[in-house]
């Protein structure tokens, strides 16, 4: 049986890496300390701060120290769940205030409509939280795309470099791995997805991108699923 679902990475695949690195990450870093200070009694924020203390092995860290740790993690591009959850909450304010729109490559906007017209299911899998993904696609420069998705996966499904994350997606969407096509710009993510049995395809949007043995496309225009 052929492909029934497409799982897309976001940063570098549906979305320009520069938007993530030059707009979203700095926005969250700049507001992290004030956000934690003002929202520390919000149960979700409090829970995330507890997670940060655990991961950083700093049980006594106060709000200011936690903000410092999180900004360090942003600089290192750490894909840690509490950071990703908090970033999503901060970005929500930026989208709501019209400070930026989510960048989505036009070829993906065309393609997702085509895929859905074909009866294919489409999911995203990002290290950004599910809420952050919904914000990105919901406030995109091409309008609200959320209705076109069948679902989203984030670090709670697993680390994108681990085979288990992809096996968890397979189990969740109840297809066989060979019915699922995973598209990402990162070779090590493709390797993990392949180990779980998925069909893979690399998006190469940058000239100096590391490539592997995977089928390469430079735009979703090239991805025709029969």
Ligand X SMILES: CSCCC(=O)C(=O)COP(=O)(O)O
Q: How far is CA 196 from CA 128, 173, 188, 214, in A?
A: 21, 14, 13, 15
Asked whether position 196 contacts ligand X by CB under 6 A, the answer is no
Angstrom distance (rounded) from CA 171 to CA 66 = 35
Instruction: Count the residues of the shown chain that bind Mg ion, applying the rule CB under 5 A.
Output: 4
Task: Return the closest-CA partner of residue 141 out of 111, 108, 104.
Answer: 104
Among 6, 7, 8, 10, binds ligand X (CB under 6 A): 10
Residue nearest to ligand X (CB): 128
Residue 94 or 128 with smaller CB distance to ligand X? 128
The span of 9-17, 143-151, 170-178, 211-219 binding ligand X (CB under 6 A) equals 9-17
What is the x/- site pattern for ligand X, positions 118-147, by CB under 6 A? --------xxx---xx--x-----------
User: Of Mg ion, ligand X, none, which one sits near residue 194, judging by CB under 5 to 8 A according to partner kind?
Assistant: none
Interface with ligand X in residues 76-105 (CB under 6 A)? 79, 84, 87
Find the shortest distance in angstroms from Cβ 177 to ligand X: 20
Helix residue ranges per DSSP H, 97-156 = 106-117, 130-138
DSSP code, position 140: B
* Radius of gyration, alpha carbons of the chain: 18
- CB neighbourhood size of 72 (10 A): 13
Which strand (E) or helix (H) includes residue 158?
none
Residue 121 or 160 with smaller CB distance to ligand X? 160
Angstrom distance (rounded) from CA 103 to CA 161 = 24
User: Of ligand X, Mg ion, none, which one sits near residue 111, judging by CB under 5 to 8 A according to partner kind?
Assistant: none
CA end-to-end span of the chain, whole Å?
11
Return the structure tokens found at 63.
Answer: 């709000």
Among 31, 80, 160, 177, binds ligand X (CB under 6 A): 160
Question: What are the residues binding ligand X (CB under 6 A)?
Answer: 9-12, 20, 24, 79, 84, 87, 126-128, 132-133, 136, 160
Question: What are the residues binding Mg ion (CB under 5 A)?
Answer: 9, 11-12, 185
């Amino acid at each position: 049986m052929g492909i029934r679902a497409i799982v897309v990475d976001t940063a570098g695949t549906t979305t320009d890496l520069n938007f993530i690195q030059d707009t979203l990450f700095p926005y969250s870093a700049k507001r992290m300390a004030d956000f934690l200070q003002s929202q520390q009694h919000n149960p979700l924020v409090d829970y995330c701060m507890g997670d940060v203390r655990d991961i950083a092995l700093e049980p006594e860290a106060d709000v200011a120290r936690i903000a410092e740790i999180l900004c360090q993690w942003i600089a290192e591009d750490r894909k840690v769940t509490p950071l990703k959850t908090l970033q999503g909450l901060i970005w929500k304010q930026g989208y709501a205030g019209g400070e930026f729109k989510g960048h989505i490559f036009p070829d993906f906007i065309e393609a997702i409509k085509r895929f859905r017209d074909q009866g294919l299911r489409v999911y995203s899998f990002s290290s950004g939280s599910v809420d952050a993904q919904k914000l990105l696609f919901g406030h995109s420069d091409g309008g609200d795309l959320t209705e076109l998705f069948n679902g989203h996966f984030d670090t709670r499904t697993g680390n994108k470099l681990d085979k288990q994350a992809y096996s968890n997606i397979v189990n969740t969407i109840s297809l066989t791995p060979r019915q699922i096509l995973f598209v990402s710009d990162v070779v090590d993510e493709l390797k993990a997805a392949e180990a779980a049995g998925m069909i893979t395809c690399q998006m190469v949007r940058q000239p100096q991108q590391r490539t592997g043995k995977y089928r390469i496309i430079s735009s979703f225009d090239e991805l025709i699923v029969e």
